[in-house]
Every structure is written in structure tokens, then in C-alpha cells.
Chain A
Amino acid sequence: MEENKLVTFLQQSVKILQYFLPLDSLSFFPILYASLIWAFDRQFNFQAKVLELEVWLEPDILKSKSNEFILDFFNSNERLKAAYAKELAENNMMSLRLDFEVLYPVIGLQDPFLEKLFSRELEQGNYRGLVNDFDFRLNQALSEIMVAGSQPQFWNELGKIGQEFLSLGWDLLNKADVRAEIKKTLEQLKK
């Protein structure tokens, strides 16, 4: 897979999506990134995937975890461990649990849309900022997509982008590498 090929493909995809969403909108890069990751997983019903984000934490068992699991989540990630050093030292489970419920889907389950939506915070290790802004930013991004999605062509075009992405020949790479490659290229394009 040539890097140039990916850059050209993403530049074209950005042009197509700009017709539906402004480039500086919150949801532009998250929806593009998530669609490519979903396409890699052969999951093409993007509309259902986005709708799922609103209720993505169902069932509750995904966030009802033992104290030990929550502590392991924070301690096994060096950056999280540093950011929450005070709570960990004080064994402040109430505070850790509240933040875990927001951070687990983004960092623990690596939801691609949420990862991209909070990419800046993740990069800077600003986990508290992520937690504070989570509801507001997610709702805003989803409502932007809903407006764009009211034009039927939006989902069709997104589907085409996903199909075309697969045809570029990613089969020999694993998902982690694909994620890294797309992320890197999208960051270049954003600049």
C-alpha cells in the first residue's frame, strides 16, 4: 500500500464530504476516520453505527466493573496513571469510577469515532478535559451528522468511500497498523 495512494484517496474523500459537512465541523474527521475503520471491519451500515453511538454504552455491564478492573485500567496505561496519580494514591474510587465510565469506551474499547472526536485530548493526555467535554461534544457532533445525514446521498457517498478504501488493498495489514496509518495521514491533511 503506497502512502501517496492513501493521501490522494483521502484528499478526494475530504472533497466529497465537504459537500455535506464543513471541514472545520467537529464531526468531519471523526466520521471519515470511523467510516474507514468500520469499512476495514466490513461493517458498512454507517448510519446504524452512528445511531448506535448515542446508546453505545448499552448493556450496562460494559461500564459496571469491579474496583480492581477500574484500578487496572488506570494503572496499566502509563499516561492515565500519571494523570490520575492523586486519585490512585488516595484510592478515590468514586472519582475514578465516574471518569472510567467515559474513558473506557474511548481508550479501553477504542471506538474509532470517539477516538477521533477526542484525538487532541488523547494526544495531549488531557483526560479530564475529555471527560468534561464528552457529553457536549458528542451530542454536538452527532447532531451535525444527523443534519448531513438527512440528505440521503450523504450515507451513500460515505459507503462508496468505505468500499473504495477497501479496494486500495489493505488485506495484508492488521487493524492496529491500518488505524495508525489513517490517523497519521488524516493529521497531515488537517494541517
Chain B
Amino acid sequence: MKIRLKKTQAKLGSFWPKLFSFILLISIFLIFSGCSSSLQKAKVDFTRAEALNKAYQEEEAVSFYKKSLEEANREIKKKPSSQAYLLRGLNEVNLNRWDEAEESFRLAASLGDDRAETWATEVGLYGLALSLEKQRMDEASARLYSSLAEKGKFSPVVMAAVSRLIDSKLKLIAEASPAQKDKLLNECLKIIEKPLSENLAIGYYHYLLAQVLGYQKKYRDSFEEAVMATELGLPTEKISRDNDNQIIFCYRQLKNELSPEEWKSFSSIYNSWIKKWKWLDETTPTWKRRE
């Protein structure tokens, strides 16, 4: 019995170093096979950044875009490819480095990516519009933004252009006459219409529409768009909070203008949404301090 035990112990004694060596070999293989593809790492980091962005963890998302950008650059040094340049460009767009993104997309196009040429042109035009705006050449920049909002194919550029256009129109409303105000608001609706119909799942367009409808005092419609914006997700925490405030604003306005029956029906819908979002009460989202 003792001999058998010793033999077993001896076997086990030689088993652990072997197992350890095996695990070490596998680990080294995995580490090196991982290192061989910076592109893979760049993709993983980019996906992570996108997920964090959706969860309003913007600062962490930025650090993952930066990591992904570094990996894409590493891959380009080792083995330039259209995919690596494309990924570099996407990271640069998310980091607001428009000029660099244009260059990356051009290089991706030169290596055979069909989409990249269009993206490069649109990113370049957006960068130009931004610099025209900085130089107070408002009409020229508005023309470029309009063209990108209407005909653009690259979603981040279209979204940014739509946002700049709406901003510029809403800024004028405070001092506009009632007729001018109506005209400006109709122009805003027209600007959002097309990108929204093509990208119904982008929460930011619903947010913009909710804001414009709020200006038009169409509070029920504005509320519904703001709800959709919340459900689909918004790009930053500040915008998300502002959207919550829009929901509350619509709630208060509707309380004053709906008939008791309409109010009863609206109120029940409203309460089911705020229950879903775990608000503390009708006018207190989870981030807000009770008055």
C-alpha cells in the first residue's frame, strides 16, 4: 500500500512540472499569436470603445479609441492594409481628428477599399466646413453642412453636420420674428427628416427632433421622440440628461393643456416609462436631486 502511494506521489510529482510546462507553452503560444495581430487587438478595442460609448462612459470610450488607434498604427507599420487604415480612420473620427481621418481613409481607398474614398471626401468637406465656421464664414459653412446632411453616406459625418445645422438655426430663433421663427423651425424639421428616415435607430436624431418639436409646442410629439431617444441611446451623458429634462418639460406642459381624460391616459403611459427607467418620481430621474 505504502509502495503504491509512493509511486502515485512520484507520478504526481513529475505530473505537475509537466503540466506547468504545458500550460506555459500554451500561454506563450497564445501571447505570441495575439501579438501577431495588432489588427485584431485594434478591432477588439474599437468594439469595446463603441460599447462604452453607448453606456455613456465617454471618457473610458475615448481611452479605448486611443488604444485601438495605437494598435492600428502598429499594424500599419508592420503590414499596411486597407482594413488597418480604415480602422485608424474610424478611431480618428471618434476622437474628432477629422484631418487625420481624411488621410487614413484616402490611404485605405488607395489600397482598394471601395467605401473609403467617399468617406475621405465627406470627412474632408466636414473639416473644411468647421474651419469656415471658425472664420465666421457662416453661409459657406452652412452650404457644406447642408450638402453633407442631405447627400452624405458616412453616418458620423452626417450626424455631425445635421447637429451643426440645427444648432445654427436654433441660435437664431431667440431674436427672430414669429414668421421667421416658423420658417427656421420648418427648416430644422426638413434637415432632420432625411437622416432620421434612413437611420431610425439613431437616438440622437430623435433627440434633435424632440427639441425642435418642443419649440413648436407639439409637446406630445416631442415627448414621444424624447422617449425614443432615451430608448435608443444618446451620445453623451449631458445630452441624455438634457433629454430627460425635455421629457419632464413636456410632462408639465401637457399637464396644463390636456383635458382630464387625455391627461389620465397620458399619465398612465408616462408612469409606465418612468417605472421602466426607475425614476424616483414623475420629475426626478435617478441622476437628479429631489427639489
Taking the closest CB of chain A, its distance from the CB of B97, in whole angstroms, is 15
Q: Are the CB atoms of A60 and B284 closer together than 8 Å?
A: no
Among A15-23, A24-32, A129-137, A174-182, the one that faces the other chain is A174-182
Give every chain A residue within 8 A of B174 (Cβ-Cβ).
64, 67, 93, 97
Taking the closest CB of chain A, its distance from the CB of B266, in whole angstroms, is 17
Bitwise, A41-82 to B at CB < 8 A (1) or not (0) is: 111110011000000100111101011110010001110000
Give every chain A residue within 8 A of B215 (Cβ-Cβ).
66
Taking the closest CB of chain A, its distance from the CB of B284, in whole angstroms, is 7
Q: Are the CB atoms of A64 and B171 closer together than 8 Å?
A: yes
B291 within 8 A of A: yes
A110 within 8 A of B: yes
Give every chain B residue within 8 A of A93 (Cβ-Cβ).
174
**A104-129: which have CB < 8 Å to B?**
108-110
Complex CA–CA separation, A41 to B240 (angstroms): 14
Taking the closest CB of chain B, its distance from the CB of A101, in whole angstroms, is 11
**Could you tell me how many residues of chain B have their Cβ less than 8 Å away from some Cβ of chain A?**
38
Partner of B59 from the list A45, A110, A176 (CB cut-off 8 Å) is A45
Q: Are the CB atoms of A61 and B211 closer together than 8 Å?
A: yes
Given contacts A45-B62, A109-B242, A110-B288, contact A72 B249 (CB under 8 A): yes
B217 within 8 A of A: yes
Give every chain B residue within 8 A of A176 (Cβ-Cβ).
280, 284, 286-290
Taking the closest CB of chain B, its distance from the CB of A115, in whole angstroms, is 9
B245 within 8 A of A: yes
Q: Are the CB atoms of A61 and B60 closer together than 8 Å?
A: no
**B230-282: which have CB < 8 Å to A?**
237-239, 241-242, 245-246, 249, 252-253, 280
Complex CA–CA separation, A42 to B60 (angstroms): 9
Complex CA–CA separation, A175 to B241 (angstroms): 14
Taking the closest CB of chain A, its distance from the CB of B122, in whole angstroms, is 19
Taking the closest CB of chain A, its distance from the CB of B51, in whole angstroms, is 13
Q: Are the CB atoms of A174 and B286 closer together than 8 Å?
A: yes
Given contacts A176-B280, A176-B286, contact A72 B211 (CB under 8 A): no
Give every chain B residue within 8 A of A68 (Cβ-Cβ).
214, 217, 249, 253
Where chain A touches its partner, the secondary structure class is helix
Taking the closest CB of chain B, its distance from the CB of A46, in whole angstroms, is 8
Complex CA–CA separation, A49 to B245 (angstroms): 22
Give every chain A residue within 8 A of B62 (Cβ-Cβ).
45, 48
Partner of A61 from the list B58, B166, B288 (CB cut-off 8 Å) is B166
B170 within 8 A of A: yes
Q: Are the CB atoms of A180 and B239 closer together than 8 Å?
A: no
B173 within 8 A of A: yes
Closest B residue to A46 by CB, please name it: B59
Complex CA–CA separation, A53 to B189 (angstroms): 31
Closest A residue to B278 by CB, please name it: A174
Partner of A66 from the list B214, B280, B289 (CB cut-off 8 Å) is B214
Give every chain A residue within 8 A of B211 (Cβ-Cβ).
61
In the assembled complex, 24 residue pairs joining A and B whose CB atoms fall closer than 8 Å, in A order, are: A41-B56, A41-B237, A43-B57, A44-B60, A45-B62, A49-B59, A59-B163, A61-B167, A61-B170, A62-B238, A64-B167, A66-B215, A67-B174, A72-B252, A76-B283, A78-B291, A108-B242, A108-B245, A109-B238, A109-B242, A110-B241, A174-B280, A175-B286, A176-B284
6 smallest CB-CB distances across A and B, nearest first, come from: A45-B59, A64-B170, A60-B167, A66-B215, A48-B59, A109-B241
- Give B contacts to A, CB under 8 Å: 56-60, 62-63, 163, 166-167, 170-171, 173-174, 208, 211, 214-215, 217, 237-239, 241-242, 245-246, 249, 252-253, 280, 283-284, 286-291
Q: A61-B242, A72-B253, A176-B286 are in contact. List 18 more A-B contacts (CB 8 A).
A: A41-B57, A43-B57, A45-B63, A49-B59, A59-B167, A60-B171, A61-B163, A61-B167, A64-B173, A72-B249, A108-B242, A108-B245, A109-B238, A174-B286, A175-B287, A176-B288, A176-B289, A180-B289
